[in-house]
Amino acid sequence: MERTKIAMKLTMMTVGSAVFGFGMGIFMGSFEYNMTMGIDTNRGGWSQVRQHYFGYWRFLKKQSLHFARFGLYIGLIEVPMEIIVGKPNFLTIGFAGGMAAWLQNIRAPFIATFLGSGGFIGGISLYMNRGSD
């Protein structure tokens, strides 16, 4: 792979994951945001509105950065493996997804984290790359 293509792939994986995380933050925040952030929604006023939206945007930023880091980890593990193997396949994508999931939370049990996320991401790659694997 040439350097520009590698840099673009890493950038797209990181930015795409951040956008996905932002969307997931909006979706997840609509269910339990008011309960977990500790905002008094019974009172009105400008300070309550500011507190509400400041906390919500912090939550969305945290979700976006979390998913962006996950995408960057996947890219940094997957791209060298693709260079070695020659093409993306189930094993390289699944391994990269499993290792990235474990790197996100190193204190979690390795096997459960690795197999859960690696299998899920590898399964998605089988669907996306069907016919060319």
* Residue partners of 17: CB distance under 8 A and separation at least 6: 67, 68, 70, 71, 72, 74
Residue 93 pLDDT: 87
127 pLDDT higher than 70: yes
What is residue 2's DSSP assignment?
A: -
Segment 93-112 shows an average pLDDT of: 89
Residue 99 pLDDT: 92
Q: For residues 39 and 55, what is the distance between their CA atoms, to the nearest angstrom?
A: 9
Segment 87-112 shows an average pLDDT of: 88
How far, in Å, are 5, 53, 56, 94 from residue 91 at the CA level? 21, 42, 38, 5
Question: What token pair was written down for 109?
Answer: 């049990």
Q: What is the pLDDT of residues 114-124, one digit of tens each?
A: 998 888 888 88
Q: What is the pLDDT of residues 25-50, one digit of tens each?
A: 877 766 655 555 555 566 666 666 66
105 pLDDT higher than 70: yes
Q: What is the pLDDT of residues 45-81, one digit of tens each?
A: 666 666 666 777 787 888 888 889 998 998 899 888 8
| Neighbouring C-beta atoms of residue 42, cutoff 10 Å | 6
Residue 62 pLDDT: 84
83 pLDDT higher than 80: yes
Residue 40 pLDDT: 59
Average pLDDT of the chain to the nearest whole number? 80
